[in-house]
């Protein structure tokens, strides 16, 4: 997670960028050979539901307070291809949360489009108030059962970022 500016004034806007990669079995199993097996079983895609939350840490006694929350979905859709540039019968497209459909050229590019995420948030510094603040990002990903994977979910916390509002 990164924030700019590092030393904002109380009337500035803060820009936060949270980036993460989903690793593990779900990413390893998102390969062309298994796309074809899924397509043959009428399993036509993978839906990934993501949630990114921005929290302000408080003392040990008080729980963290949520500043911003963003939910979005990305889909990997398998289709019968007739593209002469792709030598396989089944390929994948990735539909992003911005209603954009991406056409990857390689399997690795498809995995990156689906499982590598960067989100941006904007908050007024006045929401935090003057003083030293510690912020953290919490990430949650969820997917359903498919031919190539079981249903599952993953969550993580990003490293804390300290900022001083003047």
pLDDT tens digit sequence for 110-125: 999 999 999 998 999 8
> What integer pLDDT is reported at residue 65 of this predicted model?
87
Total number of domains in the chain:
1
> What integer pLDDT is reported at residue 7 of this predicted model?
81
Record the pTM. Answer: 0.90
> What integer pLDDT is reported at residue 82 of this predicted model?
84
**Interval 61-81 mean pLDDT:** 89
Residue ranges making up the domain that contains 65: 2-165
Q: How far is CA 29 from CA 33, 88, 112, 141, 149, in A?
A: 9, 17, 13, 16, 7
Chain segment 139-162, per-residue pLDDT in tens: 999 999 999 999 999 999 989 999
Helices (H), 91-164: 107-115
Is pLDDT of 57 > 90?
no
> What integer pLDDT is reported at residue 6 of this predicted model?
77
pLDDT band at 59 (very low <50, low <70, confident <90, very high): low
Radius of gyration of the chain, Cα coordinates, nearest whole angstrom: 20
Helices (H), the chain: 25-28, 32-40, 107-115
Chain segment 20-56, per-residue pLDDT in tens: 999 999 999 999 999 999 999 999 999 999 999 999 9
């Amino acid at each position: 997670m990164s924030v700019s500016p590092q030393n904002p004034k109380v009337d500035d806007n803060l820009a936060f960028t949270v980036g993460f990669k989903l690793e593990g079995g779900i990413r390893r199993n998102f390969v062309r050979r298994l796309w074809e097996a899924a397509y043959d079983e009428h399993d036509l895609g993978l839906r990934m539901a993501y949630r990114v939350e921005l929290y302000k840490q408080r003392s040990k006694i008080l729980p963290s307070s949520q500043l911003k929350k963003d939910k979005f979905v990305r889909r990997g859709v398998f289709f019968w291809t007739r593209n002469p540039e792709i030598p396989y019968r089944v390929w994948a497209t990735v539909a992003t949360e911005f209603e954009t459909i991406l056409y990857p050229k390689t399997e690795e590019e498809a995995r990156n489009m689906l499982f590598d995420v960067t989100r941006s948030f904007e908050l007024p510094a006045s929401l935090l108030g003057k003083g030293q603040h510690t912020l953290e990002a919490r990430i949650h990903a969820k997917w359903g059962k498919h031919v190539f994977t079981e249903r599952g979910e993953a969550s993580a916390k990003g490293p804390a970022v300290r900022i001083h509002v003047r």
